[in-house]
């Protein structure tokens, strides 16, 4: 049953729907359709059931490149837009994320001293079947000790001070700690290796502690006014206060581990939580406890112009990722792409937005096909 936080309506309720070109969203949806043949997506608690996508997924797999009008017709044929409300009926909100691109070395040198680490062998996934008594119930990972106990894993400060040194976990070495931190925040990066390779790293696991964003920390300390917090302003503060980098970064106890991945199509982003490559400007990260991956969302953010829209951001996107800071029904993180230009866009996205989920028609009672 659909949650009352989803209010079905019509495509006439979507400002800018007919002006949007949904072909890239269709291509992103089609990638999820092929993955869905291999493994189902978990149904979110708002009730958009994975199984209800079957007919739309089959139709998408059958047609590779529809024209603009056929792409729009596809979504109108299989879905009904439903306004998304959060639990407090507050306005929706969007931020942006991207895939950083930095120079890296395959080995430590005098210039490249900051490692990106792979998952350690003693990092254990925790759930109800193996959670020891007294362990923080938030933690989804723990450390297996030599005597067989499971305890909280080393946090960011401990790891950066050398808790995992000498274990051969280093994938690559960076020149800048702040660059490495923002790769942790984004969960992926393209690395232009000094030996000529182009390497991608993506999220593998984390130490498990709660995420604390540097923007919020700097606001709480009175260092940056709340309305001025962007990735750019945070980087500028670190540049001007290098002696305080450890103080701020180590307050975020969560530490991210990575794995290597190929760069098969430079136009697409990394393979994210929905197990398909992200599409710049057409993939969105959502609260996966509430939403079902593969769900199309029409986002209306009139004040957001960083993506180049003169009428604001009015665009169809596909739910294909999640994040620890993405909490709530009307909350999303827009994938801006890869590299510095995408970072400039993602870094300034903090805007109110109206969310409409495109719900499979089979789930909406009384809708005529």
Q: What is the C-alpha to C-alpha distance for residues 207 and 211, in angstroms, rounded to an integer?
A: 10
Residue 311 has pLDDT above 90, yes or no: no
Q: Where are the domains of the chain?
A: 6-97+268-363, 99-261
Lowest mean pLDDT among 48-62, 71-85, 87-101, 331-345: 87-101
User: Which option is the CATH number for 6-97+268-363: 3.10.450.50, 2.40.40.10, 2.60.120.260, 3.30.70.1730?
Assistant: 2.40.40.10
pLDDT band at 86 (very low <50, low <70, confident <90, very high): confident
| Residue-wise DSSP of 225-281 | -GGG--HHHHHHHHHH-GGGHHHHHTTS---EEEEEE--S-TTS--B-TTSSB--TT
Domains 6-97+268-363 and 99-261 share a fold: no
Class of domain 99-261: mainly beta
Residue 366 has pLDDT above 70, yes or no: no
CB 184 within 8 A of CB 256: yes
According to the model, what pLDDT value does residue 12 have?
A: 96
According to the model, what pLDDT value does residue 1 have?
A: 86
How do beta strands 313-321 and 283-285 pair?
A: parallel
């Amino acid at each position: 049953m659909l949650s009352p936080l989803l209010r079905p309506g019509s495509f006439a309720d979507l400002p800018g729907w007919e002006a949007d070109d949904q072909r890239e969203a269709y291509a992103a949806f089609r990638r999820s359709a092929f993955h869905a043949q291999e493994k189902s997506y978990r149904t979110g608690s708002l009730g958009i059931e994975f199984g209800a996508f079957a007919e739309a997924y089959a139709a998408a797999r059958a047609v590779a490149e529809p024209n603009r009008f056929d792409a729009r017709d596809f979504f109108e044929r299989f879905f009904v837009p439903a306004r998304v409300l959060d639990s407090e009926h507050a306005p929706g909100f969007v931020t942006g994320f991207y895939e950083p691109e930095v120079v890296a070395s395959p080995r430590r040198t005098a210039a490249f001293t900051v490692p990106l680490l792979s998952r350690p062998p003693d990092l254990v996934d925790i759930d109800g079947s193996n959670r020891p008594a007294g362990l923080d119930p938030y933690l989804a990972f723990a450390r297996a000790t030599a005597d067989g106990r499971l305890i909280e894993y080393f946090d960011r400060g401990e790891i950066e001070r050398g808790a995992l040194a000498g274990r051969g976990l280093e994938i690559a070495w960076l020149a800048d700690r702040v660059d490495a931190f923002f790769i942790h925040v984004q969960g992926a990066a393209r690395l232009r290796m000094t030996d000529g390779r182009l390497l991608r790293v993506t999220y593998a696991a984390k130490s498990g502690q709660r995420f604390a964003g540097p923007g919020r920390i700097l606001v709480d300390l009175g260092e940056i006014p709340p309305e001025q917090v962007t990735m750019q302003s945070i980087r500028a503060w670190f540049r001007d206060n290098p002696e305080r980098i450890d103080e701020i970064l180590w307050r975020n106890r969560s530490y991210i581990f990575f794995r290597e991945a190929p760069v098969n199509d430079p136009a697409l982003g990394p393979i994210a939580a929905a197990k398909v490559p992200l599409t710049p400007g057409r993939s969105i990260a959502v609260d996966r406890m509430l939403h079902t991956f593969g769900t199309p969302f029409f986002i209306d953010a009139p004040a957001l112009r960083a993506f180049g829209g003169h009428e604001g951001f009015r665009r169809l996107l596909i739910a294909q990722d999640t994040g620890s800071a993405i909490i709530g029904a009307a909350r999303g993180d827009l994938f801006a792409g890869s590299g510095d230009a995408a970072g400039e866009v993602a870094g300034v996205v903090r805007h109110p937005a109206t969310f409409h989920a495109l719900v499979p028609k089979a789930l909406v009672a009384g809708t005529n096909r």
